[in-house]
Amino acid sequence: MSLKSSESMQWIYRDPNLDGVEDVEKYIVGGYHPVNIGDIIGEKDKRYEIIHKLGSGGFSTVWLASLIDKQQYYALKILCANSTDDMEPKVLQYLQQCAAAHPNISSLDDFFQINGPNGLHYCLVLPVLGPSIKDMSQRQLPESLRHEASQQIANGLAYLHSLDICHGGTFLITLH
């Protein structure tokens, strides 16, 4: 598989067998924050120990972390440094402030910024919810489970729309 890079306009070969593998070339200034298992990330009063990598995407990496001195586990999403758009943290904070939380919408437990070698990164602390839909779609699931998951997704999106929030796959937009 060949991809054309928009920055350099050169052809880059990417082996299709590596489609599920993180792009290590994103560990540059403006990109991913380098994280190792055992790292401590956070602020004075809330610090998280990195336990395991959960995944990565075009704009972030996600890590399983535990709150220091407590046996509570979280998904720590660290956005790329060049993600100057703080819309995702703002929308999640807004959803957190809504009086009636929705069971199909993930809640923000904490939010902070860290300064690393690749720049300033937003860090979102979210509950650990289970396997990703992408991972689950690779499996043959019973029809009833597929219907239930589809209904929950539709209910969550309807709730976001009722708050004038539009989910665009990997981003959220407020319609105010």
Instruction: Locate 8 and state its tokens.
Output: 């350099």
Is 78 in a helix, a strand, or coil?
strand
Question: Is residue 99 predicted with pLDDT exceeding 70?
Answer: no
Residue found by looking up tokens 């590596």 in the block: 18
127 vs 7, residue with greater confidence: 127
Question: Is residue 167 predicted with pLDDT exceeding 60?
Answer: yes
E-strand spans in the chain? Answer: 2-4, 11-13, 40-42, 47-56, 60-67, 73-79, 110-116, 119-127, 165-167, 172-174
Instruction: Locate 114 and state its tokens.
Output: 């860290």
| H-state helical runs in the chain | 87-97, 133-137, 143-162
CATH of 22-137, one of 2.40.50.140, 3.90.1150.10, 3.30.200.20, 3.40.50.1370: 3.30.200.20
40-97 pLDDT per residue, tens: 999 888 899 999 999 888 889 999 999 998 889 999 999 999 876 677 888 888 888 7
**Band of residue 13 on the pLDDT scale cut at 50, 70, 90:** low
C-alpha separations of 94 from 40, 124, 155, 160, 173 in Å: 27, 14, 18, 11, 12
Question: Is residue 5 predicted with pLDDT exceeding 50?
Answer: no
Task: Give, as one character, the DSSP assignment of residue 16.
Answer: G
Q: In this predicted structure, what is the pLDDT of residue 16?
A: 57
What would you report as the CA-atom Rg of the chain, rounded to the nearest whole angstrom?
A: 18
CA atoms of 100 and 98, how far apart (whole Å): 6
Is 64 in a helix, a strand, or coil?
strand
